Amino acid sequence: PMTTEEGRETVLGWIEMGLKEVTKLALEGRGVNVKGYPGRFFLAPSIFEEVHPDMQIAKEEAFGPVANLIRASGLDEVIEWINSKTDLGHSACILTSDGRAARKFIREVNVGNVGVNLGIPQPYAFFPMGSKRESFFGIAHSRIDSFRLFMDQKTVTVRWV
């Protein structure tokens, strides 16, 4: 559920903007009604396919249950896109069984939180909740790490199966 109707309408507008950019919804999350909860602000996940890094929906965040699938030719292209095609730097994750690729990704992406084999790289409460670049809410706003304001930190969360 979204917190407010205004929030839901903002995300619905975001989805409409994505559809105008000639992308395709692989998963449709609009129009959800949950039995027993009338008048609530529900949205199911929506996933866009065929997204290009230069599209508006790839450069900004929807702040709702919306994901973009962007195809790349390899890891170097992915890292280059993360570091240069968006001004945001909150988090990024990689799904891989290749330790070398994971280490390269961890070292080279310019974000505050890195996940390996995790859908969302959310660190435990005792780690700083860092962000970089235009994501703003970096370690300066996070617990004891506000004292480490001028350090360039990165939190990495990894799950190997």
The per-residue pLDDT for range 35-50, each reduced to its tens digit, is: 888 878 899 999 999 8
Q: Which domains does the chain have, with CATH numbers?
A: 1-71 (3.40.309.10), 73-161 (no CATH)
The string of pLDDT tens digits covering residues 87-142 is 777 788 899 999 999 999 999 999 888 899 987 766 665 555 556 665 555 555 55
Q: What angle do CA 119, 153, 99 make, to 5 degrees?
A: 50
Give CA–CA dist 74/62, Å, rounded: 26
CB contact at 8 A, 96 and 122: no
Distance from first CA to last CA of the chain, Å, rounded? 31
In degrees, to the nearest 5, what angle opens at C-alpha 141 toward C-alphas 139 and 145? Answer: 45
pLDDT higher than 60, residue 160 = yes
CA 45 from chain center: how many Å? 13
